[in-house]
Amino acid sequence: MTKVVATITISLDGYITGPNDGPGRGLGEGGERLHYWVFGGPWSYEEEPTGEATGADKAYLDGAMARLGAVVGGRNTYEAAEAWGGSNPWPVPFFVVTHRPEDAPAGAGFTFVNGLDEAIARAREAAGDKDVSLMGGADVIRQALRGGQVDELFITIAPVVLGGGKRLFEGFDETFRLEHLGVVQSPFATHIQYRVLR
Amino acid sequence: MTKVVATITISLDGYITGPNDGPGRGLGEGGERLHYWVFGGPWSYEEEPTGEATGADKAYLDGAMARLGAVVGGRNTYEAAEAWGGSNPWPVPFFVVTHRPEDAPAGAGFTFVNGLDEAIARAREAAGDKDVSLMGGADVIRQALRGGQVDELFITIAPVVLGGGKRLFEGFDETFRLEHLGVVQSPFATHIQYRVLR
């Protein structure tokens, strides 16, 4: 059965970016540290990271990829990532949540969809019996949590305190329980997998 | 060599209490969920918890107790815990950080000390070759982190989103790196152990 899995990386103090993120500044000051785990170690904004996840990080990613049927991401995340160079980097359909679906570039593998509910519905359909990955940003994940649309929450905690930035749970004032599905740790991340209880 | 180990439990959204904590209201709405792991399962403010930690939680606690040489806690935490019924419940010296050391009750096993620096110094001395546990509150832990006085940070994350309360890292605007020392998980908690890097 298809599940909607929200997946995101935070610092220990709960930020998905460092201070002063934005166009040309990546994930802000220190924000690159959040994703050391994706690239097998330290990298910087000055050079494109070339490494790959290793060990527990690779196993975690491989597990997620094996279940991946479709991806949903917010328009801001799409823009911040500069459209991943102009084409969908995932081997599955990618749905971009936006209020302006008419902005969709042609032939890039991105489907622009008006609103989160429709994006998740389209992604569920596209995913077959695999899962829908809700990759953020934080606002999209908060909206889906509020709407009861998230089945599982995969939180990766990078070993850094950033002291500022955008908080995953900023302004989120609802309470819900979680059930542990597992945890793995590498030198660069602690990956905690939760089921969302309702 | 004696280490100062800050130990605290947070929700996934980073709170050490639920909303509306205070005298007679414990750790606030839902805040009791933070400490299910301490008592081996659910409990409520209506009844005194009677259970004990089990499994991975017990092993984690036993490991911490084996290294415990002294405890430092803030005055607010001491008051919120109603002085643990009136006497030091730990088998080691307990130092209470306060601006009013003259308030110390006699013969209760608590040493009231004027300020964090002195409390940590006294605790280090009392701990011998064991560790000093800095148990909070959040303000005391933030102050010790700012002062570079924390060697290790043991964060327990309870599987709950509280949606409000007091944040561990509220107002904390410094950045520092951490090194993983390990992680264990029970049904009630994920215990992540970090070394603080400077």
ipTM of the complex, rounded to two decimals: 0.96
The answer, yes or no, to whether residue B60 has pLDDT greater than 90, is yes
From residue A71, how far is each of A92, A150, A191, B81, B179 by CA, in Å?
Answer: 7, 13, 19, 47, 32
- What 8-state DSSP symbol labels residue B41? S
Tell me, yes or no, if A117 comes closer than 8 A to chain B by beta carbon.
no
Interface of B with A in 129-148 (CB under 8 A): 145
Write out the DSSP string of A10-69.
EETTSBSS-TT--TTSTT-TTGGGGGGGGGTS---TTS-------HHHHHHHHHHHHTEE
Q: In this complex, do A175 and B30 lie within 8 Å of one another by their Cβ atoms?
A: yes
Tokens 């152990």 belong to residue: B193
Residues of A in Cβ contact (< 8 Å) with B177: 33, 159-161
Give the up-direction half-sphere exposure of residue A7: CA atoms within 13 A in the CB hemisphere.
Answer: 21
Interchain contact A198–B (C-beta under 8 A): no
pLDDT, position B197: 97
Q: Is there a contact between B175 and A194 if contact means CB atoms under 8 Å apart?
A: no
Q: A56 — contact with chain B (CB < 8 Å)?
A: no
A-B contacts (CB, under 8 Å): 103
Residue in B with minimal Cα distance to A33: B177
Give me the count of residues in chain B.
198
Q: What is the 3-state secondary structure (H, E, C) of B117-183?
A: HHHHHHHHHHHCCCEEEECCCHHHHHHHHHCCCCCEEEEEEECEECCCCCECCCCCCCCEEEEEEEE
Mean pLDDT over residues B125-153, rounded? 97
At A26 the pLDDT is: 84
Predicted confidence (pLDDT) per residue in A121-167, tens digit: 999 999 999 999 999 999 999 999 999 999 999 999 999 999 999 99
In this complex, the residue of A18, A163, A179 whose CB is nearest that of residue B159 is: A179
Q: How far is CA B170 from CA A77, A135, B12, B165, in A?
A: 26, 26, 14, 10
Over chain A, what is the mean pLDDT?
95
What pTM, to 2 d.p., does this model score? 0.96
Q: pLDDT per residue over A9-57, tens digit each?
A: 999 999 999 999 887 788 899 999 999 999 999 988 888 788 999 999 9
Structure confidence at residue B89 (pLDDT): 93
What's the pLDDT band for B101 if we cut at 50, 70, 90? very high
Mean pLDDT score, A111-121: 97
- What domains does chain A contain, in order, with CATH numbers? 4-196 (3.40.430.10)
Predicted confidence at residue A120, as pLDDT, reads: 98
Q: What is the pLDDT of residue A166?
A: 96
Which residues 175-194 on chain B approach chain A with CB closer than 8 angstroms?
Answer: 175-180, 182-183, 185-187, 190, 192, 194
